Amino acid sequence: MRARLLLAVPAAAAAALTTLAPAAGAATGSAAPTPTCKQPAVSVSAAAAQRADVLHIKVTNRGAGTCVVDRIPTVTFGALDGAAQPVPPAESAPYRLAAGGTAHAAVRTAEPAGGAQMRVVDFVTVAADPSHRGRAISADALGLPQGVRVWEPVTTWWQPSWAKADEALQDATR
């Protein structure tokens, strides 16, 4: 896996970012900024998709109010350095989650050209925001008892549905 510099944004800095850039669909003006989702208020999950070397990940806001996470999920692989790169390439920005709202992303863990450089890991860690510690999910829990194959992984931005996430991944990896 090629290394990716992973910039962890402290919670205070992430909160400051939300004051600089309005969340998707947020009105601009004198309204108070939407707060960053706290890790205990969101749940993340992942499972193998039907397409080979693709994971579906999901974040749900279990809190009582609207909050924001980074528009790019943070997905790391076992003890390997780096994280899945966003497709299309993008900088961090807020993604708004209503109370009870869910967002989806698709992660291609390996491209076929990985060959001898392909790695296999026993778990992935998924975080809805780089300020969160994330949740480690075993390969077995993902439905991949042989392990997760990794070579140049990429992730979509958060999307409103699995279909949109799959479409975004397909468009970006053609």
113-160 pLDDT, tens per residue? 767 889 999 999 999 999 999 999 999 999 999 999 999 999 999 999
Q: Retrieve residue 7's tokens.
A: 């910039």
Residue 6's pLDDT band (cuts 50, 70, 90): very low
Check pLDDT > 50 for residue 3. no
Which has more pLDDT, 23 or 60? 60
Residue 141 contacts by C-beta under 8 Å, 6 or more apart in sequence? none
Q: What is the arithmetic mean of pLDDT over 79-99?
A: 96
Lowest mean pLDDT among 17-26, 66-75, 87-96: 17-26
Check pLDDT > 70 for residue 29. no
What H or E segment, with its residue span, contains residue 107? strand 102-108
Q: What is the arithmetic mean of pLDDT over 59-82?
A: 97
- Going by DSSP bridges, is the β-strand pair 85-87/154-156 parallel, antiparallel, or unpaired? parallel
- Going by DSSP bridges, is the β-strand pair 123-127/67-70 parallel, antiparallel, or unpaired? unpaired
Percent of the chain clearing pLDDT 90 (strictly above): 75
Q: What is the arithmetic mean of pLDDT over 164-174?
A: 93
Q: DSSP letters along 28-84, please? A: PSSSPPPPBPPGGGEEEEEEE-SSTTEEEEEEEE-SSS-EEEESS-EEEETT-SSBP
